[in-house]
Structure 1
Amino acid sequence: MMQHFSHLLDNLYEERTTKRRIRLFADYLDQVDLEDRGTALSLLTGTTRLPKIKSAALLEILKSRTDPVLLEHSRNFVSDVTEAIALSWPGSGDLQISLTEIVDRFVNSSASRLALVTKWLDDLPHNQRWCLLKLVTGALHGKSLGIDPDNARMALADLFYVSAQALAQAWCASEPPYRELFQWLDDQAPKPVSEISKYLPVHPVISVDAPDNAFQPFTLSLAGPLVMVYRMGNEQRIVTLSGDDLTIQAHDLLQNARFEGVMIGSLAIIQNGKALSHNDLTRRLSRPKPTKKLTDELPLHFIALDYLHDGTTNLKSFPLHLRLGNLELQIAKLDHPRFHFGPAIAAPVFDRKGLHGHPLKSITTGIWWRDQTRLCQHETHWFHQPFPPMQSHFILLYVEDKTDGTGKLCTIGVFPHEGNTPVPIGKCLVSANNPDSAAIAKYVKENLVQKFGPVREITHTREQGFIIEVSYSGASASRRHKARLQLNDVGFVGLGLMITPADLPELEELQTELIDM
């Protein structure tokens, strides 16, 4: 029912830990029927997208029903338009309706969708209006609520006691709203199966502290998702090894995959022979229907790592070195600039400094290796050693107390060679439970320069400043930052109590190292 979904969204917005959010979603799936399970799963994971109604149109209707001045004050106070409309909408009904019926009627409505939503706002109870508005205005983003496809599958695995392998196969063989998937999970039907799902998942990943030199070859592990390019007969798809379909997002890559067979590899954005940042790849794949301008600006490339079928022969029973030999021949035969044979390295490297000048250095996160003697069956393991994050000291510029009480969002900066004003280079979150949070709060109180709402600027000069140490995976170019770059995956390490602003590296020194990263 709609009331259950509304209650779920309320709880997800309030909850901050991923583990708890997964538990909340599993509890929701346990209490609703099959129809609403599938509808909620497809909405939160983004596999179903509804037509949108502009919130401005609803505001115009609301202005005719309530005091427009009071409404404007409500918007300024609440800031979220959908929440302001839900709180200000007059009256309250008692309509009992399912989530699936809401979605089906909204999508298939032949009359005005705006009139239909207006009627629902009149009839629904007060606490369900906000949920409805999130749905119909396109403001529902499951990923921001902690329910992306990976976390949704974790909730399903926990609730129905199924293995990740079986779930990935069934997920890939099902279509939104996943009725076949839930019928199988409820033991009401056999497991959904498709030709492509037979190849999923290829392997479990085991993270280790040190590589085993007996296992060869070593291969660079890239930040992009591991995917399967499947071209057999009339079926052409690109899916992640978890079962998520990227065929539409990567349609330009699939058009150039002129071969018969099944390949495994990583996706990357490569321009002028060098890989762009993982942020660029995420931006590209987050668009459900990328425009031609975006596909030209951020061209997808495929880094091939394994070969499961060559169009005539199933290669999964072949040892690794034979599969890789066939793969290298096929990539050479394909001879397309967007398809590359996975870069093997003669010996393991333990950080990015060992990859100086490598075109994929900026998106390399570690190294893979596999046992050549084992066959490519589901029990095959890929071993992974991630690179350790880099660490450095920076000066603290601004501090913002998170409204949810989870901690302080700290903006860090670096001094340019010529100039006494540091420029921002990234942000990190200092947890409220961290004992160093009190020291930061004390310095902010004693060295406050000015306030910008919840943001506080503190003293940051070459003579005086508060220094913190952070970890980061690398850097990427940024037009929004005066430094023209930003740190990626920034995490708080500790206080630099023995470090002065004069001891910090300058922007130009960092650029030399970070731009190459």
Structure 2
Amino acid sequence: MKRFAQLFTALDQTTKTNAKVAALASYFRDASDTDKLWTIALLSGRRPKRGVTTTLLREWAAGKAGIPLWLFEECYPIVGDLSETIALVLPPATGTSDRTLTAWIEVVRDIGKHEVATKKEIILNAWDSLSPIERFLFNKLITGGLRIGVSQKLMTRALAQATEIEEATLAHRLMGDWTPDTTTFEDLILSENPEADASKPYPFYLAYQLEDLEALGPPEDWRAEWKWDGIRGQLVIRRGAHHLWSRGEELITDRFPEFAMLRDFAPDGTVFDGEILAWDDTADAPQSFNALQPRIGRKTVPKKLLKEAPAVLYAYDLLEHQGTDIRGQPYDVRRKHLAETIAALPPDAPICLSANEPFADWAALGQLREISRDRLAEGFMLKRGDSPYRSGRKKGDWWKWKVDPLMIDAVMIYAQAGSGRRANLFTDFTFAVRNGNELVPFTKAYSGLTDAEFRQITAWVKRNTVQKFGPVRQVTPQHVFEIAFEGIQKSPRHKSGVALRFPRMSRWRHDKPIDEANTLDDLNEMLEQYG
């Protein structure tokens, strides 16, 4: 644990990429294999499950510190982080511990099996044997909130330096449904294990939003595809089995049973990349994302849903062909293989080729882009014809050229404090539209303002709170904000009857009084037009 604490401190004290990579590479050279494996797991989001509630941790910390609970609760929002608050209020430890990171994680994982009294004894003994920074990390592990300012890309680069294995190879090995319980550092990182790769997807290539169209150069170098609003996924077909992965590395095979037939017809050693869409057989066109949402979170899919919203994979890339990784080949070559592969499948196969859209020049493509929402698309993806399929978000070869977001002016009616570095600021807001003389809440948003604006609105909230509901404050309706969003749909769960897709604050409308904010009728018109 001491070595892991040193690593965390080194990473926390610098914003320089090279310094972070160097600290990680040094750790990966020196730490034990089990600690290295758990560090990789933690940095890639594989955390132990929470075994103790934060309510109990607050009570025990206040008792150990000899302060009333109300005082601890007053300290918490000032510090802005529960784990750090606990580490700061506790008295100095009376002992030390040489337990490794892996050993402490075992404590964290086992604690949920015990009665409350035993949990308390384990936690208090742990706090009494750890330094302040070790306590902080232990608390983070207990609460499941450990997040370190290192991307998986930086971690992979550090592993490459420590092991002398290529980054691209490591990025692929780290994909998939592994945990420290199902593999070892040797098998995951160091070994070429064909069995382990049977179900693994490839790292997804992600695009940046296009800022300067003219900077792309000659249009003939580029290919344009409609950007569909679905679930990005890779369909892996190897050794007679199929595996469907989301962009977030979640295995979602069971939620889309339609794709099972492809393992019988697609060549073994095939990996498709594309967008999972709900399909309208009558119109021979995609349905809205709203039709796909009931699949999310399900383990089994009822027959009614399979009939009403059958899924297809709108494939736009081929990453593996006849068992060979072809990501290094030019986009145009991969697309040729993709088209040939799909053409050889039965006509009723739940997969379509997301065709390139021909265009004479950028102006012509811009005109096509204007009808994106009519096609239930978000705009275009622009891909250079000679580009390889890269790992992660890279600039240069792939760009997303999305349509401008939808906008509505709304009134802020509730505010809640944020978390982490923004725990002292009100950053999470509920917004309403006008409906006669009342304000009808319809969405929440917590991003889009600058820190200076958040500080300004926080000071105002403190002076204009009407009621408190736990952490939520009802405020005097006074401020109008422009809310940007990507889509709108019906929602019986909301009083307004609608729900927005990806809402965020785009502007604080200091120039607009609340009687000029949009109405519920405006919202319903948008629902009729775009829902």
- Fold shared by both chains (TM-score > 0.5): yes
Q: Is the 8 A contact 1:42 1:176 kept in 2?
A: yes
Q: Shift of the alpha carbon at 1:218?
A: 2.4
- 1:132-187 CA distances to partner (integer Å, 9 max, x unpaired)? 56546xx4155xx3669xx2233332575587534323424995447557996xxx
Q: Which residue does the alignment assign to 1:98? A: 100
Please say if 1:421 is aligned against 2:439: yes
Aligned pairs for 1:175-214 (under 5 A) are 175-177=178-180, 180=185, 200=202, 205=207, 208=210, 209-210=212-213, 213-214=219-220
Aligned pairs for 1:248-327 (under 5 A) are 252=257, 255-258=260-263, 259-261=266-268, 262-268=270-276, 270=278, 274-276=287-289, 280=293, 284=296, 290-292=298-300, 301-308=312-319, 311=322, 319=333, 322-327=336-341
- 1:398-451 CA distances to partner (integer Å, 9 max, x unpaired)? 3445464474425353434444324242323465643x4566467557755444
Unmatched tracts of structure 1, length 5 or more: none
Q: Shift of the alpha carbon at 1:10?
A: 9.4
SS of structure 2 residue aligned to 1:421: strand
Q: Is the 8 A contact 2:48 2:105 kept in 1?
A: no
- Cα distance change on mapping 1:355 and 1:430 into 2, 3 Å: closer
- Cα distance change on mapping 1:353 and 1:419 into 2, 3 Å: farther
Q: Is the 8 A contact 1:399 1:456 kept in 2?
A: yes
User: For 2:342 and 2:233, how far apart are their aligned partners in 1?
Assistant: 18
Q: Is the 8 A contact 1:172 1:245 kept in 2?
A: no
Please say if 1:156 is aligned against 2:156: yes
Instruction: Identify the match of residue 170 of structure 2 among 167, 176, 189.
Output: 167
Q: Which residue identity does 2:157 align to in structure 1?
A: A
The two structures, once aligned, show a CA RMSD in angstroms of 5.5
User: For 1:383 and 1:99, how far apart are their aligned partners in 2?
Assistant: 41
Q: Shift of the alpha carbon at 1:483?
A: 1.9
Q: Which residue does the alignment assign to 1:125? A: 129
Instruction: Identify the match of residue 474 of structure 2 among 453, 457, 467.
Output: 457
SS of structure 2 residue aligned to 1:415: strand
User: For 1:55 and 1:309, how far apart are their aligned partners in 2?
Assistant: 45
User: For 1:490 and 1:11, how far apart are their aligned partners in 2?
Assistant: 36
Q: Which residue identity does 1:335 align to in structure 2?
A: D
- Cα distance change on mapping 1:11 and 1:140 into 2, 3 Å: farther
Q: Which residue does the alignment assign to 2:225? A: 219
User: For 2:8 and 2:254, how far apart are their aligned partners in 1?
Assistant: 27
Question: TM-score if structure 2 supplies the norm length?
Answer: 0.67
Q: Is the 8 A contact 1:469 1:496 kept in 2?
A: yes
- Cα distance change on mapping 1:152 and 1:237 into 2, 3 Å: same
User: For 1:192 and 1:393, how far apart are their aligned partners in 2?
Assistant: 55
User: For 1:253 and 1:7, how far apart are their aligned partners in 2?
Assistant: 49
Q: Which residue does the alignment assign to 2:381? A: 367
Q: Is the 8 A contact 1:415 1:423 kept in 2?
A: yes
Q: Which residue does the alignment assign to 1:511? A: 524
Q: Which residue does the alignment assign to 1:41? A: 40
Q: Which residue identity does 1:425 align to in structure 2?
A: T
Aligned pairs for 1:472-491 (under 5 A) are 472-491=485-504
Q: Which residue does the alignment assign to 2:234? A: 228
Q: Shift of the alpha carbon at 1:97?
A: 0.4
Q: Is the 8 A contact 1:91 1:122 kept in 2?
A: no
**Identity within the alignment, %:** 15
- Cα distance change on mapping 1:458 and 1:321 into 2, 3 Å: closer
Q: Is the 8 A contact 1:308 1:323 kept in 2?
A: no
Q: Shift of the alpha carbon at 1:274?
A: 1.6
SS of structure 2 residue aligned to 1:97: coil
SS of structure 1 residue aligned to 2:512: coil
Q: Which residue does the alignment assign to 1:342? A: 354
Q: Shift of the alpha carbon at 1:508?
A: 2.3
User: For 2:302 and 2:97, how far apart are their aligned partners in 1?
Assistant: 44
User: For 1:481 and 1:221, how far apart are their aligned partners in 2?
Assistant: 29
Q: Is the 8 A contact 1:92 1:122 kept in 2?
A: no
Aligned residues: 482
Q: Which residue does the alignment assign to 1:494? A: 507
Please say if 1:388 is aligned against 2:404: yes
SS of structure 2 residue aligned to 1:36: helix
Q: Is the 8 A contact 1:207 1:384 kept in 2?
A: yes
Unmatched tracts of structure 2, length 5 or more: 281-285, 360-364
- Cα distance change on mapping 1:451 and 1:108 into 2, 3 Å: closer
User: For 2:335 and 2:242, how far apart are their aligned partners in 1?
Assistant: 26
Q: Which residue does the alignment assign to 1:237? A: 243
Q: Which residue does the alignment assign to 2:482? A: 469
User: For 1:440 and 1:320, how far apart are their aligned partners in 2?
Assistant: 51
Question: TM-score if structure 1 supplies the norm length?
Answer: 0.68
- Cα distance change on mapping 1:432 and 1:274 into 2, 3 Å: closer
SS of structure 1 residue aligned to 2:381: strand
Q: Is the 8 A contact 1:390 1:473 kept in 2?
A: yes
SS of structure 2 residue aligned to 1:388: coil
SS of structure 2 residue aligned to 1:246: coil
Q: Shift of the alpha carbon at 1:270?
A: 2.5
